[in-house]
C-alpha cells in the first residue's frame, strides 16, 4: 500500500494503525500526487490510499491517472464528511472504498479487513486454474471454438447454414464491424513445460475476457495454433480509442497477476464473417512485425502499413567476417565483431520494420558453423535455433544469446581439434609400434597412411610428445632391442634385423648412443 495525504500527521497516524496482521505493508508515503506517481512507478502497489483534496493533483485526478496507467492497482479515498458526496461521484473510477476522517483504529481495521477480502478474492480468481477452467467451459461451448478454427483452417467461406447455426450460439459477425486481435504468450524459463504453458494460456484468456466484460465489449474468443484469438465488435464512435486502452490493460493485468508477458497483433475493421480469415492474417502479420520494433506489445496492422516496410539484413562482408572470426579469430575478436553488429542494429532499429531476414542470416551462420563440428547440430544448439532467435524482442537479447552460443561452439571446435590431433597421433604411434621392424619405415610413409602432411605430423610429435618422429621411432626400436638382449640369446645381428636395422654396425652405434654402452657390453652387464 502507498499512502497519499498532504498532512504529515494524518499520514503518520494512519500508517501507525496498519500492522502486519492486517495483511498490508505500507511501502511508501507521499504528500502530493506527483510524488505519489513516482512511488507507484517504483513499487507497483496493490492499493493506493489517497486523500481527496491535495495540492497539484487532487485525489480524483490521481485516481484517473492510476486507472489509465496502472489498471491493476486499486484506489481507496480518505475523505472528510463534506467531501463524501464528491468522492462517491468517482464510482466509475472503480474506487475500492472510502475512509472518512477522523480515522479511528476501528475504522482502519474494518476498512483493511474489507479491502483484504476483496483482494484475496480477486487473486484467488486469477490464480486458481480450476476455477478458470470451469468458468471457460461454462461460458463458451467447445463447438464455437471448433467452428471458428475450421473457418481459419479452410479457404472456403462459411455457408449460410454455418452462420445460422452460430447465431443459435449467440455468435453474430455480419451485423456490424469487428476487429480481430491475435494474442501470444511469451515463453520464459518457467514455461518450457508444455502443460504449464497451456495452463498459463488458459489463465491469460480468462483475464482478458474479464477485462473485456468489465469494459462492456461484445466479443468471441478461441484458441488457434499457438495463440489466442479475440473477435471484438465495434461499438460507438470512440471504439478505437477505448479498445486501445483495453489492450493496454490486458498487457498490464497479465503481467501483474500472472507474471505473463503477452503480445497483441490487431487487424483492421471487417464487416462480414467471410472476412475472418483475412482479419486473422492481418493480425498475424502485425504480431510478426512486433519483433525488434518500437511499437511495444500492441501492434496495429493499419498503423504499420501506412509506411513502406523496411527490412534489414546482414551483408556478405559481415557474414564473411563472422565466419572468419569463428574459424581463425580469438574469442575476444569475435565478441568485438558481434558488439559492432549489435550497435548497428540498435542504431537502425527505429527505422526498421522487420528484422526477420537479419535473424535468418544470423541463424544461418550459427547453424553452418555447428555443422562443421562433430555431433548433431540440433543437440549442440539446444533445439530449434530459429524458433529461439525469433522469440527475442530486441537486438540486445538476440546478440547476447548468439554470442554465448558461438563462444560455446568455438570452444567445442577447439576441443574437437585437440581430440582430432590426439587421435591422429595415436594412429601414427600405433603404426610405428606395428611396423618398426620394417627397415623402410619412414615419415613419408606414415604421413601417406594417415593422409596428412609431414609438417603437421612433426607438429603433433613436438606438441604432444616433445620429440621428433625419428627420435620416437629410434626409442621404440631401442626399447625392443633391450628386451631382446635381456630375455633372449639371439645374436646381435639377428636382434638388429628384428629391430628394423639392415646394418648391424649402425644398430650398435645407435644402441650405444641411446644406452651409453654397446649391445654386447649391455648383455654382459645383464648376464655377467
pLDDT by residue (tens digit) across 189-225? 666 677 888 888 899 999 999 999 999 999 988 888 8
Which CATH architecture is the domain 436-526 placed in?
Orthogonal Bundle (1.10)
Distance CA 464, CA 425 (A): 8
Q: What's residue 280's pLDDT?
A: 93
The sign one gets for the Cα dihedral 345, 348, 354, 357 is negative
Q: What is the mean pLDDT of residues 406-421?
A: 68
The angle at the Cα of 46, spanning 45 to 48, to the nearest 5 degrees, equals 70
Please report which confidence band the pLDDT of residue 374 belongs to, taking 50, 70 and 90 as the band edges: low
Distance CA 36, CA 6 (A): 11
- Judged against a pLDDT cut of 90, whether residue 361 lies above it is answered with no
More confident residue, 346 or 418: 346
SS3 182: strand
The angle at the Cα of 125, spanning 121 to 127, to the nearest 5 degrees, equals 115
Rounded percentage of the chain residues whose pLDDT exceeds 70: 81
The angle at the Cα of 303, spanning 298 to 308, to the nearest 5 degrees, equals 125
Domain ranges of the chain: 2-127, 139-304, 316-413, 436-526
Q: What's residue 293's pLDDT?
A: 47
More confident residue, 391 or 106: 106
The angle at the Cα of 156, spanning 151 to 161, to the nearest 5 degrees, equals 75
Residues 150-175: tens digit of each pLDDT: 888 876 777 788 788 778 777 888 77
Rounded percentage of the chain residues whose pLDDT exceeds 90: 20
Cis peptide before 102 (omega within 30 of 0): yes
In CATH, 139-304 is 3.30.70.270: yes
Name 29's bridge partners. 3
Q: What pTM, to 2 d.p., does this model score?
A: 0.47
Distance CA 258, CA 126 (A): 8
Please report which confidence band the pLDDT of residue 294 belongs to, taking 50, 70 and 90 as the band edges: very low
Identify the H or E element spanning 184.
strand 178-185
Question: Which span out of 12-26, 119-133, 408-422 was modeled with the highest average pLDDT?
Answer: 12-26
Q: What is the mean pLDDT of residues 324-344?
A: 81
Distance CA 264, CA 286 (A): 8
Which CATH number applies to 2-127: 3.40.50.300, 1.10.1040.10, 3.40.50.2300, 3.40.640.10? 3.40.50.2300
Q: What's residue 494's pLDDT?
A: 92
More confident residue, 35 or 100: 35
- Judged against a pLDDT cut of 70, whether residue 310 lies above it is answered with no
Q: What's residue 295's pLDDT?
A: 46
- Judged against a pLDDT cut of 90, whether residue 180 lies above it is answered with yes
Distance CA 300, CA 200 (A): 25
| Helices and strands counted in the chain (H then E) | 24, 10
Q: What's residue 138's pLDDT?
A: 64
- Judged against a pLDDT cut of 70, whether residue 419 lies above it is answered with no
Phi-psi region of 352 (alpha: psi -120 to 50; beta: other; left: phi over 0): beta
| Average pLDDT in the chain | 81
Distances (CA, A) of 79 to 61, 73, 518: 15, 19, 114
- Judged against a pLDDT cut of 50, whether residue 184 lies above it is answered with yes
β-strands 2-4, 47-51: how paired?
parallel
Distance CA 96, CA 76 (A): 5
Neighbouring C-beta atoms of residue 405, cutoff 10 Å: 19
Contact 47, 76 (CB under 8 A): yes
β-strands 227-233, 178-185: how paired?
antiparallel
Distances (CA, A) of 54 to 4, 70, 79: 9, 20, 11
Distance CA 378, CA 381 (A): 5
Neighbouring C-beta atoms of residue 390, cutoff 10 Å: 16
Neighbouring C-beta atoms of residue 108, cutoff 10 Å: 20
Contact 410, 326 (CB under 8 A): yes
Polymer length of the chain: 528
Please report which confidence band the pLDDT of residue 402 belongs to, taking 50, 70 and 90 as the band edges: confident
What are phi and psi for residue 183, nearest 5 degrees? -115, 130
Contact 60, 32 (CB under 8 A): no
Residues 247-293: tens digit of each pLDDT: 999 999 988 888 888 889 999 999 888 888 999 999 988 887 665 54
Q: What's residue 90's pLDDT?
A: 57
Residues 59-84: tens digit of each pLDDT: 888 888 888 888 888 888 887 755 55
Placement of cell 508444455 in the chain: 194
Please report which confidence band the pLDDT of residue 437 belongs to, taking 50, 70 and 90 as the band edges: very high
List Cβ neighbours of 520 (8 Å cut-off, separation of 6 or more): 492, 508
Q: What's residue 103's pLDDT?
A: 77
Amino acid at each position: 500500500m502507498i499512502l497519499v495525504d498532504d498532512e504529515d500527521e494524518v499520514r503518520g497516524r494512519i500508517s501507525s494503525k496498519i500492522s502486519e496482521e492486517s495483511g498490508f505493508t505500507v511501502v511508501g508515503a507521499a504528500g502530493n500526487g506527483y510524488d505519489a506517481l513516482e512511488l507507484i512507478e517504483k513499487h507497483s502497489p496493490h492499493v493506493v490510499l489517497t486523500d481527496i483534496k491535495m495540492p497539484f493533483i487532487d485525489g480524483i485526478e490521481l485516481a484517473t491517472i492510476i486507472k489509465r496507467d496502472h489498471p491493476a492497482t486499486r484506489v481507496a479515498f480518505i475523505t472528510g464528511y463534506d467531501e463524501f458526496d464528491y468522492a462517491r461521484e468517482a464510482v466509475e473510477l472503480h474506487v475500492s472504498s472510502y475512509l472518512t476522517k477522523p480515522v479511528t483504529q476501528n475504522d482502519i481495521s474494518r476498512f483493511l479487513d474489507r479491502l483484504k477480502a476483496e483482494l484475496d478474492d480477486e487473486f484467488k480468481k486469477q490464480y486458481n486454474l480450476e476455477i478458470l477452467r470451469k468458468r471457460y467451459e461454462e461460458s463458451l461451448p467447445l463447438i464455437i471454438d471448433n467452428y471458428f478454427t475450421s473457418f481459419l483452417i479452410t479457404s472456403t467461406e462459411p455457408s449460410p447454414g454455418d452462420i445460422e447455426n452460430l447465431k443459435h450460439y449467440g455468435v453474430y459477425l455480419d451485423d456490424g464491424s469487428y476487429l480481430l486481435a491475435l494474442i501470444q504468450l511469451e515463453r520464459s524459463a518457467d514455461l518450457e513445460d508444455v502443460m504449464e504453458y497451456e495452463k498459463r494460456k488458459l489463465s491469460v484468456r480468462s483475464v482478458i475476457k474479464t477485462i473485456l466484460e468489465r469494459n462492456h465489449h461484445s466479443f468471441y474468443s478461441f484458441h488457434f495454433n499457438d495463440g489466442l484469438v479475440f473477435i471484438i465488435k465495434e461499438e460507438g464512435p470512440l471504439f478505437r480509442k477505448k479498445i486501445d486502452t483495453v489492450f493496454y490493460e490486458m498487457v498490464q493485468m497479465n503481467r501483474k497477476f500472472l507474471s505473463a508477458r503477452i503480445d497483441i497483433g490487431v487487424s483492421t475493421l471487417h464487416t462480414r464473417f467471410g472476412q475472418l480469415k483475412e482479419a486473422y492474417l492481418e493480425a498475424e502479420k502485425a504480431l510478426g512485425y512486433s519483433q525488434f520494433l518500437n511499437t511495444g506489445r500492441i501492434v496495429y496492422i493499419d498503423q504499420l502499413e501506412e509506411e513502406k516496410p523496411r527490412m534489414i539484413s546482414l551483408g556478405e562482408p559481415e557474414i564473411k567476417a563472422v565466419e572468419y572470426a569463428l574459424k581463425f579469430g580469438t574469442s575476444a575478436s569475435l565478441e568485438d565483431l558481434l558488439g559492432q553488429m549489435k550497435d548497428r542494429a540498435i542504431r537502425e532499429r527505429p527505422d526498421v520494420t522487420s528484422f526477420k531476414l537479419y535473424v535468418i542470416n544470423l541463424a544461418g551462420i550459427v547453424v553452418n558453423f555447428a555443422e562443421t563440428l562433430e555431433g548433431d547440430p540440433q543437440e549442440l544448439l539446444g533445439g530449434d535455433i530459429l524458433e529461439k532467435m525469433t522469440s527475442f524482442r530486441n537486438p540486445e537479447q538476440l546478440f547476447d544469446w548468439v554470442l554465448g552460443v558461438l563462444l560455446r561452439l568455438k570452444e567445442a571446435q577447439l576441443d574437437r581439434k585437440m581430440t582430432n590431433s590426439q587421435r591422429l597421433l595415436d594412429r601414427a604411434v600405433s603404426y610405428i609400434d606395428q611396423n618398426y621392424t620394417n627397415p623402410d619405415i619412414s615419415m613419408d610413409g606414415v604421413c601417406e597412411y594417415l593422409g596428412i602432411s609431414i609438417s603437421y605430423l612433426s607438429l603433433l610429435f613436438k606438441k604432444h610428445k616433445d620429440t621428433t618422429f625419428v627420435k620416437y621411432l629410434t626409442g621404440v626400436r631401442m626399447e625392443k632391442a633391450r628386451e631382446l638382449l635381456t630375455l633372449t640369446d639371439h645374436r646381435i645381428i639377428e636382434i638388429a634385423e628384428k629391430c628394423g636395422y639392415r646394418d648391424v654396425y649402425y644398430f650398435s652405434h645407435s644402441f650405444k648412443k641411446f644406452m651409453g654402452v654397446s649391445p654386447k657390453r649391455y648383455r654382459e652387464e645383464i648376464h655377467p
